[in-house]
Structure formats: C-alpha cells, structure tokens
Amino acid sequence: MTLGKRLGQRFLPYGANYLDWSDMSELREVIDQRVLFRYQTEGESMASRLERTVAARLGARHALAVHNGTEALRLCLISTRPSVGDLVHIPAVTFVAVAGAVLSCGLIPVLVDVDESLSLDPALLPPDARRVITAHMEGTVAPVPEGIEYVIEDCAQSLGARLPDGRHAGTAGYAGTFSFHHNKVLTSGEGGLIVTGDPAAWARMRGYHDHGSARVPGHYPAWNDDAHFGENFVTSEEVAAVQCQQFRHLDEILAGLESMYAVVMDRLPDRPDLTVLPRAAGDAKVSVRLRWESRALRDAAVAALTARGIANWTLDKYLLPEHPVFTGRRSIYADGFPWNHAPAGPLVLSRDGFARTRDLLDRTLCVPLSPELAEQGQIVAAKAIQQALEEV
C-alpha cells in the first residue's frame, strides 16, 4: 500500500486538497447570478473582488487577474513598452514558460546563471540591464536585483512567501506574477495574477489585457477614445470564484507547510553524503530540497521514495541552456522571429558555461510537503521519508 493510501490522502498538491463543494460560496454566487463574464455584471464582479482581496492580502497597490501565469509575465513585459529585439535577462534555471513569455513579446531572453540556491545571481547582470525576470522557485525567495528599471518577480511557485524585509514576494520590483496552475500553492486548474505598485503600469496592463481598452462594468462593449490594440487575457467569473475560495485557505496552507517542514527536518537521516538546502524564514515551505553527493545517490533516492509511493521530483528539466528553444533558437515563425532580431553570439551569462549548475541539478531532489495532513499524518509521512532515505 502506498503512503498516500495509508494516510487516506489524495495525490494532489497544496490548495487542490482544500477544494470542497461545501466551501464554494463564491462559485455558488456566480452560478446563481448566471453571469460568467466579469464586465457583464452590474455591481462588483467576482474578478474585481479577487483583485481587491489579493492586493490587500499581499500588500500591493494594484492587482489584475488573467488566464495564466505565462500571460501575466507577457503582460508585465508588454507594459514596459519595449522595442522588438530588446533583451530580457532571465534565470538559467526556471520553467520554459518564462522564456516563452519573453519570445512571444518579440524580445530576446538572455540566460543568467544561478547561485547555490538555484536563484538568478544578480552579480552576473551587466550594468545596462533594463528588464530582468527573477524566479522564486520551489517557494525559495530569490534575491531581487537592485538598480534595474524593470524587475519582474515570477512568483508562480512561491505565493505567500516573504522577502527578508517582510514584504511579500512579488511586491519588491516593477511587478510580480503568480500562477494558479494545478501544481501551485493555490489552484484553479489554470489562472494567473499580477500585482504592481505602479498605477501607470497597471493602467497599461488593464487596457492591453482587454483588447487595448478599459471596460466599464455593466456597459460591455465600450471603448476608450485612445484605445490601442491588445489581446484578451480577461479572466472569467467562475475561475475567479474558485481562486477566492483558495485564498481563504492560504494562511492555513502556509501554516501546514511550515508544520510539516519542521516535522520532516527533525527526522531526516544524518548522512555525510546528504545536504539539506537551507530555507529562509520567509520561504513558502512547499518542499524539502535535498542535495546528494552524486547523481547515482540522487537517482537511488528517487527510486527508494517512489517505491514507497512518496512523491518526489528532480529539477533537471529546468536547465534552459539545454532546452531546444535555446539550443536551436527555435521559432514557429518562418523568418525565425524574434531570434532574427537577436545579437550574434551566445546569449548567456555564466562563469563556467553552466557546469556548476548542471552538477547541482544532477544531485538535487525535492520532496513536496502535505499541509492538509493532521499532525499525526505528517509524522507518519516524515517517518516514511526517513526510512526511504536511510535505505539509499
């Protein structure tokens, strides 16, 4: 019997385990109103309620709900009013959606190597960098570069995390983006959010995300006299309703993650060939990250955990220098757009050609935590993790 079955646990991450029909008051409200488009409502839409909730919860001046996290990144980049071919510095270790968001805006990603925590290393950024995306991966709060005009914080995996000064991740730079994909802290299957403290940036994002205009609730369609072209990134009322339900559980989920993190840390085996990557107090403790002495030991740990039905994953897939979109400068456009606007030569910043980063990824293993488990269930899970790692 797998660990999940022993605990009566569904193999779903984080907020997904808090979805419950009895708790869906916002969704029932939307269905009762029979209006699923946010600008068709006469009063405050559910999407607007969500944005108001998010801004207050994260200490942001403005929030905007969109379809997904990739669109959120695109919208932030577009709002900086770039020119085709402008450079955007991004982490060399992150999900390919970050590079896709940059390229789909007609911009050119430059891969910046990471530090020991696998976060973008600000020391490698050139003095003339204008646009930087930093990713708070695996709940880890990454350094936010200073002196950069447009710093976009990708918080897809770190909702609720806090910077060392107490501010929420996503609120220190030009803008912050969040994802409600199934595997994130909170989920609506898909969905995205943007927060910013810049009113002009928010106005540009709000206009572009709805065909270049700014709708008036209850007066759809209506166009601004100065409308420019845009796209349709407008979220729907039922998705916003699920996200509202999820946000009501954010503190509970973060507390559950903190609790299980402490339980697991107390029971990890003391091995000279195993190091636990440290987490800061403000990190969202979505997983315990383990670094082994060798790739062979990492793979043996994967096999031992998997055999016991314990969820785990590696991070090899996040090394962007090895992704086809970079190795072949792949594009769906016949002329290679936007790579045909890229400068000649490698678009990378690394001291050793990513050799150290490749080695770190080869030896790193993540074990996700289960905030929904009661204390006894967390103890049982921690013991199973301990036993599996002792077998390696």
Average pLDDT over residues 282-289: 97
The CATH number given to 14-249 is 3.40.640.10
Q: Are 258 and 265 in contact (CB under 8 A)?
A: no
What is the reported pLDDT for 205? Answer: 96
Q: What is the pLDDT of residue 7?
A: 62
- On whether the pTM is more than 0.85, the answer is yes
**Does 148 have pLDDT greater than 80?**
yes
Question: What is the secondary structure of 152-173 as a DSSP string?
Answer: EEE-TT-TT-B-TTSPBTTSSS
- Answer yes or no: is pLDDT of 83 > 60: yes
Q: So what's the pLDDT on residue 41?
A: 84
Residue 179 pLDDT greater than 90, yes or no: yes
* pLDDT, mean over the chain: 94
pLDDT of amino acid 214: 73
- The per-residue pLDDT for range 60-79, each reduced to its tens digit, is 999 999 999 999 999 999 99
Q: What is the pLDDT of residue 9?
A: 60
What is the enclosing helix (H) or strand (E) of 192?
strand 192-196
Q: How far is CA 155 from CA 131, 139, 186, 240, 368, in A?
A: 16, 8, 12, 18, 17
User: Are the folds of 14-249 and 251-318+354-391 the same?
Assistant: no
Model confidence at 306, in pLDDT bands (50, 70, 90)? Answer: very high
Residue 101's pLDDT is: 98
* pLDDT above 70 for 274: yes
**What integer is the mean pLDDT of 197-221?**
85
Report the C-alpha gap between 109 and 100 in whole angstroms.
9
360 vs 150: CA distance, rounded Å? 29
CATH code, residues 251-318+354-391: 3.90.1150.10
Confidence band for 261, pLDDT divided at 50, 70 and 90 = very high
Lowest mean pLDDT among 55-59, 203-207, 219-223: 219-223
Q: Is the pLDDT of residue 42 over 90?
A: no
CA dist 247 and 23 (Å) reads: 12
Select the more confidently predicted residue: 383 or 212: 383
The pLDDT assigned to 271 comes to 95
* Predicted pLDDT of residue 227: 77
Q: What integer is the mean pLDDT of 334-360? A: 96
Q: What is the chain's Cα-based Rg?
A: 22
Separation of alpha carbons 142 and 136, rounded Å: 5
Q: Are 276 and 349 in contact (CB under 8 A)?
A: no
In the chain, what are the domain boundaries?
14-249, 251-318+354-391
